[in-house]
Amino acid sequence: MDNVNLIDTFSEFKELKNIDRATMMSVLEDVFRSVLQKQFGTDENFDVIINIDKGDFEIWRNRIVVANDELTDPNLQITLSDAKKIDEDYEIDEEVSDEVNFFQFGRRAILNLRQNLSARILELEKDNIYTKYKEKIGEIVTGEVYQIWKREILILDDEGNELILPKNEQIPSDFFRKGDTVRAIVYKVDLRNNNPLIILSRTSPVFLERLFELEVPEIFDGLIIIKKIVRVPGERAKIAVESYDERIDPVGACVGMKGSRIHGIVRELRNENIDVINYSSNTQLFITRALNPAKISSIKLNEEEKRAEVYLRPEEVSLAIGKGGLNIRLASQLSGYELDVFRELEEDDEDVTLEEFSDEIESWIIDELRAIGCDTAKSVLNLSKNELVKRTDLEEETIEDLLNILRNEFE
């Protein structure tokens, strides 16, 4: 093997691993010096010159000229007679530089060098991937599905780096096949057995925020600010937005003409319903908007406990609560207040609050009913037994006893 062949091998590594020139030069020199240390015990008196462009390298050893009978270290010293073979003008105590033929060290030394180089480049590549994706946390990346397992999906980026999308970071209705293109955010970057582990997410609120930045130029430019996002992935999301420019309607800009901007986001999130809400520092107004599409009659705030009593007309209660309590749960998370929904009574409507039955009905049953928006006797009686079974965790026998108690109040 000659110099050119060895340097060609290094160049192949450089191209394959995409390592910058300065780093590659440093790695090559370090690897050469590690071999020199093993051969001579030190590399301090060696100059390693590498020229990747020309495809060659040189190793020069610097030694001090000593008298023929004073030689103690052949690596650091050279006898006067040997120095004069190089140049007749050398004198004692002068420094002699002569080129070392690396290949005289033998095949084992060359093999050791190549192994060290491979190990160093692999280590550098891992560091580069780790650093690159550490800086991308919270950003959207695109990759291709390479392998699908029960608990996670292996995705390859444009450079062939491995990314992991765990099952719990996928939208429940996500379905991917090998070769599909996937968009997600970089959720976290860890090291597992000294290898970079890049975790992606499609369920994080940050993913929804980045999608809005891509679709809505006003958000990207900072004209519209996203104040907060809450979501149940694949089901529903609420996003509060605000603009400091009075000429811009933040909700209209996010939705787009006939929903043109938000439709792409909804499709990406597997038809997740997205409510875009105007942010307000007025808590009552913000809670009213957060409970959209229900229309609120009145709100009583408890600032200390961060609770709010929300009063609605009977027909609005189910809208406020939403399917499975989803709407009120997201509104509570968005506003930062625990919301209690109450049915507002008409002036001529004779009704009795459930608290008045505390002697006959256990408190946990009353709490279960209030959780579905029923806080009065008639609000419960307006629901059928089957509806109560579906919407609560109460047993059928318990519901029958409950209905009998409430009916007796009005008979």
pLDDT per residue of the chain (411 residues) written in tens, 0 to 9: 444 445 555 555 555 555 666 777 787 788 888 888 888 888 888 888 877 666 567 888 899 988 988 888 888 888 988 888 888 888 888 898 888 877 777 777 777 777 777 787 788 888 889 999 999 999 999 999 999 999 999 999 998 899 999 999 999 999 999 999 999 999 999 988 889 999 999 999 999 999 999 999 999 999 999 999 999 999 999 999 999 888 999 999 999 998 999 999 999 999 999 999 999 999 999 999 999 889 898 899 998 899 999 988 888 888 898 888 899 999 999 999 999 888 775 544 567 788 888 888 888 888 888 888 888 888 888 888 888 888 888 888 888 888 888 888 776
Decide: 254 and 223 in contact? Cβ < 8 Å: no
* Same structural domain, 115 and 15: yes
Token code pair at residue 332: 């509570």
For position 4, what pLDDT does the model report? Answer: 43
Residue 167 belongs to domain with CATH number:
2.40.50.140
Instruction: Let me know if residue 326 belongs to a domain.
Output: no
DSSP designation for 36: H
273-278 and 236-243 as β-strands: parallel, antiparallel, unpaired? parallel
Cα–Cα distance for residue pair 208/171, rounded to 1 Å: 12
Instruction: Let me know if residue 154 belongs to a domain.
Output: yes
Cα–Cα distance for residue pair 127/191, rounded to 1 Å: 10
For position 291, what pLDDT does the model report? Answer: 93
* Same structural domain, 157 and 92: no
Instruction: Let me know if residue 362 belongs to a domain.
Output: yes
* Same structural domain, 111 and 165: no
Cα–Cα distance for residue pair 52/195, rounded to 1 Å: 29
For position 2, what pLDDT does the model report? Answer: 45
Q: Which of 68, 95, 123 marks a domain boundary?
A: 123
- What is the DSSP track for 73-108? -TTTEEEHHHHHHH-TT--TT-EEEEE--GGGG-HH
Q: Which residues contact 338 (CB under 8 A, 6 or more apart)?
A: 305, 306, 307, 308, 332
Residues forming a β-bridge with 77: 64
Decide: 113 and 125 in contact? Cβ < 8 Å: no
77-79 and 140-148 as β-strands: parallel, antiparallel, unpaired? unpaired
Instruction: List the domain range (segments joined by +) for residue 106.
Output: 3-123
333 by Cβ neighbours in 10 Å (0-12 / 13-18 / 19+) ranks as middle
Q: Which of 123, 145, 176 marks a domain boundary?
A: 123
Q: Which of 146, 178, 203 marks a domain boundary?
A: 203
State which amino acid sits at residue 109. Answer: A
Decide: 66 and 79 in contact? Cβ < 8 Å: yes
For position 200, what pLDDT does the model report? Answer: 97
Cα–Cα distance for residue pair 118/362, rounded to 1 Å: 72
